[in-house]
């Protein structure tokens, strides 16, 4: 089974007295990553000219290619070269089901040339995610089971075979259409605004 791409967002505190050197250091890190299999893009941005907080983001095609980059001697040497002026304060990895529940004002990657970082809200509580998945899955499961039950002889198939057929039908519908739609509808409940 093919794994989903993984996006890594890193927040770093950078010594402002090393600003020009830090910019060259970041560009060098992105250049190093481009030579690794599975690299899909990277970028960086400062919150404002007056802040020492920088946001960096990179994306790899799957866990194996990301792990190869993160464990590589090239990356270790690059990190060591910036250790005196750049300190990681937060790292987030996004993939799989959690990505369905990202806040709308999260990390946005439009293409390899443009990266936009906004304030990222935490994923909603797991119990809210479970409710949304259930609300999406239950009616679709009932509908697909009813439709498949109308096929002559389908009910006589072994249970594992019936489940195989229904999950092969349901999974792309759920992942591609239903979950994104229902999470958009439920955004105010999943990510209530703080007063």
How far apart (Å, rounded) are the C-alpha atoms in residues 42 and 33?
A: 8
pLDDT at 178: 86
CA-based nearest residue to 116, from 31, 45, 175, 66: 45
Q: What is the pLDDT of residues 93-151, one digit of tens each?
A: 776 555 545 544 444 444 444 444 444 456 678 888 889 889 888 999 999 999 999 99
Half-sphere exposure of 103 (CA within 13 A, CB side): 15
12-16, 25-29, 32-36, 43-47: which range is least confident on average?
43-47
109 CA to centre of own chain: 10
Percent of the chain with pLDDT over 90: 25
Region 50-72: what's the mean pLDDT? 87
Between 94 and 163, whose confidence is greater? 163
The first and second tokens of residue 189, run together, are: 């409940």
Between 72 and 116, whose confidence is greater? 72
Residue 107 near residue 118, CB atoms below 8 Å: yes
Q: What is the mean pLDDT of the chain?
A: 80
Percent of the chain with pLDDT over 70: 82
How far apart (Å, rounded) are the C-alpha atoms in residues 78 and 72?
A: 10
pLDDT at 106: 44
How far apart (Å, rounded) are the C-alpha atoms in residues 77 and 68?
A: 14
Q: What is the pTM of this model?
A: 0.50
CATH class of 6-116: alpha beta
Region 11-31: what's the mean pLDDT? 87
Instruction: Please report, for the chain, the start and end positions of each structural domain, with discontinuous segments joined by +.
Output: 6-116, 126-190
Region 60-74: what's the mean pLDDT? 90
How far apart (Å, rounded) are the C-alpha atoms in residues 12 and 131?
A: 35
CA-based nearest residue to 102, from 170, 161, 173, 183: 183
Residue 29 near residue 88, CB atoms below 8 Å: no
How far apart (Å, rounded) are the C-alpha atoms in residues 66 and 54?
A: 21
How far apart (Å, rounded) are the C-alpha atoms in residues 120 and 104?
A: 9
pLDDT at 95: 63
């Amino acid at each position: 089974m093919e794994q989903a791409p993984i996006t890594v967002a890193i927040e770093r505190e950078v010594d402002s007295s090393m600003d020009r050197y830090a910019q060259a250091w970041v560009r060098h890190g992105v250049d190093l990553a481009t030579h690794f299999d599975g690299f899909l893009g990277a970028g960086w941005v400062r919150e404002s000219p007056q802040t020492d907080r920088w946001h960096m983001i990179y994306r790899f095609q799957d866990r194996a290619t990301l792990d190869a980059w993160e464990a590589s001697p090239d990356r270790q040497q690059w990190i060591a070269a910036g250790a005196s002026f750049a300190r990681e304060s937060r790292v987030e990895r996004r993939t799989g089901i959690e990505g369905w529940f990202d806040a709308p004002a999260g990390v946005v990657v439009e293409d390899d040339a443009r990266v936009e970082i906004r304030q990222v809200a935490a994923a909603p509580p797991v119990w809210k995610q479970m409710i949304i998945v259930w609300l999406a899955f239950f009616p679709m499961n009932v509908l697909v089971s009813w439709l498949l039950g109308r096929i002559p002889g389908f009910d006589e198939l072994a249970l594992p075979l019936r489940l195989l057929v229904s999950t092969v039908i349901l999974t792309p519908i759920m992942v591609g259409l239903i979950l994104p739609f229902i999470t958009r509808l439920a955004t105010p409940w999943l990510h209530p605004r703080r007063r």
